[in-house]
Structure 1
Amino acid sequence: MADRLPPIAFDELNEDQKVAAQAIIDGPRGAVYGPFVPLLRSPELMGHAQRMGEYLRYRSAIGVRLSELAILVTARAWNQQVEWAIHAPIAAQMGIPPDVINAIARREQPEGMLVDEAVVHAFCVELHRDKQVSDHTYGEALALFGEQGVVDLMGLNGYYTLLAMVMNTARTEVPPSTAAPLPE
């Protein structure tokens, strides 16, 4: 299937798009890729989204390792190949074991997770599957991460759901990756 909203050459961008693109290029991402390619059609939305994402991905109260785990569960819930291609290798670099990553890809319950990983996984799975989180799982997350951590975890799920919806609709091209694609 063809990419519905493919990349636009920088010299073809309007002034608002150039400003929004340059903000991403100058930030920790270093380039306009993935969800920001289709979002560039709405530069103000893209600007707000990228600032939220920058916080959630790089500075959330639960830390990068657990944020990457939450992103993988969200990517799997939405069958989002671009998120998976980008974030599965990052999750592995941050210390999420390959067996955990592979189990998430197969929609299986991972074994051998650390306590904080198991709580994040349960929280994210429940939120995507049940559209809410049980009292038990919420209590575990609250005890481990505090209120800010729980809110950031909800934010990670919501933000990466937004990006998954954008890329699934736009049919954003999957970048080269060391990660195997998500199975059907």
Structure 2
Amino acid sequence: MEDRLGALPFAAMSAAQQVAAQAVIDGPRGALYGPFVPLIRSPELMTAAQRMGEYLRYRSAIGTRLTELAILVTARHWSQSVEWAIHEPIAREYGISDAMIAAIAARERPPAMAPDEALVYEFCIQLHQQQRVDDATYAAALAAFGEHGVVDLMGINGYYTFLAMVMNAAQTAVPPSPATPLP
């Protein structure tokens, strides 16, 4: 597959694109990569998206480990290889087990999860597969994470779905990664 919206040289970008790109480069990501490569074509959209993503990825109310788990479930649901390549090693670094990662990649329920991981997994699976979350799972998430955490968890699913749609349509090239590619 050919990357439909590949990297633009910084010098070839419009002034608005350069400002938006520099904001990403100067932020915690440190470079313009992944979904921001196609999104730079719409600098205002990219700026809004990257600000939301910066919050959800680095400061969500559910913490980095559970955020990365939610990202993997979302990436797998959308068969999004770029997000998987970026986030699989990060998830592992933050304590998501190899067995969980392999099960998610295989579209199987992980065999052993901590209670908070099982809750996030179930919440995400329901949201993606049924487009809603049942009352029992919602109540458990509310008890575990509070309203702030539940809203952030919904936001993580929605944000990474948005990025998956952008990159799937743009056929964004998968970066080199130590991650095991999605089947």
Kindly provide the CA deviation profile for residues 8-37 of structure 1, in whole angstroms up to 9, marking residues without a partner as x: 000000000000000000000000000000
CA distance in 2 between partners of 1:143 and 1:177 (Å): 37
SS in 1 for 2:182: coil
Over the aligned positions, Cα root-mean-square deviation in angstroms equals 0.4
User: Any unmatched runs of 5+ in structure 2?
Assistant: none
CA distance in 2 between partners of 1:27 and 1:51 (Å): 10
CA distance in 1 between partners of 2:176 and 2:140 (Å): 37
Kindly provide the CA deviation profile for residues 87-124 of structure 1, in whole angstroms up to 9, marking residues without a partner as x: 00000000001100110000001011100000000000
Task: Check if 1:127 corresponds to 2:136.
Answer: no
Identity %: 68
TM-score by length of 2: 0.99
Please name the residue that 2:9 is paired with.
9
CA distance in 2 between partners of 1:137 and 1:98 (Å): 25
User: Any unmatched runs of 5+ in structure 1?
Assistant: none
CA distance in 1 between partners of 2:73 and 2:55 (Å): 19
Runs of 4+ in 1 over 2 A off after TM superposition: none
Task: Check if 1:116 corresponds to 2:101.
Answer: no
* Matched AA of 1:91: A
Kindly provide the CA deviation profile for residues 109-160 of structure 1, in whole angstroms up to 9, marking residues without a partner as x: 1011100000000000000000000111101110100000000000000000
How many matched pairs? 183
TM-score by length of 1: 0.99
CA distance in 2 between partners of 1:98 and 1:55 (Å): 26
CA distance in 1 between partners of 2:102 and 2:126 (Å): 19
CA distance in 2 between partners of 1:140 and 1:107 (Å): 23
